[in-house]
Amino acid sequence: MVLTLQPALLACLSYAATAVLTLRNEQHKSVVERVNTQLNALYGPLLACVTASKSSYDAMIRQFENRHRAAADAPAVGSLSAAEFRAAVRRRPSGPEATAYRAWVRAVLMPLSVKAANLVIERADLLEGDDIDPILLPLAAPVSASRVILAQWDKGEVAEPSAISFPEKIHQWVSEEFGKLKRRQAVLLGMRGGQSGGLRYRLAARL
């Protein structure tokens, strides 16, 4: 009787082990696919947008700073801050600096801001956590306000400055979240050196 039950018991245990392993493999695959989608469809493009926005904003300020120094034949002492730059544009809304600034907003800064805001709105399902991080909420408001301001500029009302300013905290936040996901992806794909396959699998299964 015992001998008769052993093959059946072994078959059941084997089936159960295979089922558990299959389930874990499917769960692991789902986690990998989600992380890949998060990086490719949201955090990667969002990081590219805010980084490009930062680089463009910095380049715009440097351009005005260099132009001012060249006109005044002044030595390169210190750097023009973003606040000083915005104040200079407000003082002379019809001046060459403000005119160039509006061109930067239309051609570069506004499109990047719109793209970043749309990414958060359209792919909010890929955000980490159950809620939208409050740090992302200011993304949409300046874009909406800037559309109104652009319409005013089109009418010749240039005294109103753009609401666009570079979101330093958002750039830092996106960079950190992107880095966390890349590290998780590396663990899931077994790209950490010095770990056995079994250990890598157990780590991935727990994420």
Name which residue leads in pLDDT, 8 or 192.
8
Dihedral sign for Cα 141, 116, 108, 57, please: positive
Interval 153-205: pLDDT, tens: 888 887 766 655 556 788 899 999 999 999 999 988 886 543 444 444 443 34
Residue showing tokens 């609401």: 163
CA distances 140 to 27, 76, 115, Å, are 35, 37, 10
Residue showing tokens 């400055």: 161
Instruction: Tell me the pTM.
Output: 0.72
Classify each residue of 2-29 as buried b or exposed e, where b means 16 or more C-beta atoms within 10 Å of its C-beta: eeeeeeeeeeeeeeeeeeeeeeeeeeee
What is the spatial distance between Cα 146 and Cα 144, in angstroms, rounded to a whole number?
Answer: 5
Interval 12-42: pLDDT, tens: 766 667 767 776 777 778 888 999 999 999 9
Residues 6+ apart with CB under 8 A from 68: 74, 80, 97
What is the spatial distance between Cα 58 and Cα 166, in angstroms, rounded to a whole number?
Answer: 9
State residue 29's pLDDT score: 83
* Averaged pLDDT for residues 36-57: 92
| 80 three-state secondary structure | coil
Interval 65-77: pLDDT, tens: 776 666 555 444 4
Interval 85-139: pLDDT, tens: 777 788 888 887 788 888 888 898 888 888 998 998 899 899 988 778 888 877 7
State residue 180's pLDDT score: 94
